[in-house]
Amino acid sequence: DTAVSQTPKYLVTQMGNDKSIKCEQNLGHDTMYWYKQDSKKFLKIMFSYNNKELIINETVPNRFSPKSPDKAHLNLHINSLELGDSAVYFCASSLQRLAGVPTGELFFGEGSRLTVL
Amino acid sequence: GEDVEQSLFLSVREGDSSVINCTYTDSSSTYLYWYKQEPGAGLQLLTYIFSNMDMKQDQRLTVLLNKKDKHLSLRIADTQTGDSAIYFCAEPLRDMRFGAGTRLTVKP
């Protein structure tokens, strides 16, 4: 059983399109994240949800909209895709947060490679 | 500084030791982590250290922590070709903050 699963694994699309990436975790964790990894492998936090509540929203264009229908799912919708959105997007989860910081290990999905042409 | 810092590349010969260094940002971080990313995969936790420890050994891995200098290192003994990957140090801030990653290449 995959602990954190993302779909699709690969996504190739044209500029201006709208696309979604889905993420599900079966670990019973409270906290989920979206990270963006660029071509130089830098990992940058985009969003974090704790029990379906948005707790971190970094300086990400508002074309990116996360949605958490329940604490096991965190989806990412991107409107009006741009060339600079090409990257690998990672979903992750962790057990909980204490005193405002994540505790314990982050479990990562396999990543969704988005290519915008 | 605001960023978790690591050197970007390290190349060693098979059988040698590898040492990957990291400077973190917050002296009050209670845990510090090392993650490994293999090609085409997500990150996986490799090891971690509590801030009240100076050293932790786990088979071929040794983690050293210098809290005064906010310096963390990962030593891999008897490095194998299967250790070739990108290694990220991480500290729990408002989010889990990752360094830029050190790409370790192991030559036969």
Are residues A56 and B88, on separate chains, in Cβ contact within 8 Å? no
Provide the phi-psi class of B69: left if phi over 0, else alpha when psi is between -120 and 50, else beta. alpha
Q: In the prediction, which pLDDT does A95 show? A: 86
In chain A, the residue whose alpha carbon lies closest to the alpha carbon of B28 is A101
Q: Tell me if A44 sits within 8 A of A35, measured CB to CB.
A: yes
User: Is residue B101 predicted with pLDDT exceeding 70?
Assistant: yes
Are residues A40 and B100, on separate chains, in Cβ contact within 8 Å? yes
Across the interface, of B33, B92, B94, the residue whose CB is closest to A56 is B94
Are residues B101 and A41, on separate chains, in Cβ contact within 8 Å? yes
Inform me whether the C-beta atom of residue A60 falls under 8 Å from chain B C-beta atoms.
no
Q: In the prediction, which pLDDT does B96 show? A: 86
pLDDT tens-place string over residues B28-78: 888 999 999 999 999 999 999 999 999 999 999 999 999 999 999 999 999
Q: In the prediction, which pLDDT does A1 show? A: 67
Q: In the prediction, which pLDDT does B63 show? A: 97
Q: What is the rounded CA–CA span in Å between residue B72 and residue B29?
A: 12
User: Is residue B1 predicted with pLDDT exceeding 60?
Assistant: no
Inform me whether the C-beta atom of residue A94 falls under 8 Å from chain B C-beta atoms.
yes
Q: In the prediction, which pLDDT does A58 show? A: 82
Q: In the prediction, which pLDDT does A44 show? A: 92
Q: Tell me if A76 sits within 8 A of A60, measured CB to CB.
A: no
Q: What is the pLDDT along chain A (117 residues), one digit of tens a residue?
A: 679 999 999 999 999 999 999 999 999 999 999 999 999 899 999 999 988 888 888 878 999 999 999 999 999 999 999 999 999 999 999 987 666 676 778 999 999 999 999
Residues facing residue B73 across a β-bridge: B21, B64
Identify the helix (H) or strand (E) that includes residue B104: strand B102-107
* Torsion from C-alpha of A54, A85, B97, B45, nearest 10 degrees: 100
Which stretches does DSSP call E strand in B30-83? 31-37, 43-50, 55-58, 61-66, 71-76
Q: In the prediction, which pLDDT does B94 show? A: 78
Are residues B43 and A41, on separate chains, in Cβ contact within 8 Å? no
- Which of B96, B97, B102, B105 is the mutation pick for testing A, counting most A CBs within 10 A? B96
Inform me whether the C-beta atom of residue A54 falls under 8 Å from chain B C-beta atoms.
no
Q: How many CB pairs under 8 A join A and B?
A: 54
Inform me whether the C-beta atom of residue A33 falls under 8 Å from chain B C-beta atoms.
yes
* Secondary structure of residue B82 in the 3-state scheme: helix
Inform me whether the C-beta atom of residue A102 falls under 8 Å from chain B C-beta atoms.
yes
Q: In the prediction, which pLDDT does A37 show? A: 96
Q: In the prediction, which pLDDT does A92 show? A: 95
Inform me whether the C-beta atom of residue A66 falls under 8 Å from chain B C-beta atoms.
no
Q: At a CB cut-off of 8 Å and minimum separation 6, what does B89 contact?
A: B4, B6, B20, B22, B24, B32, B33, B34, B35, B72, B74, B98, B99
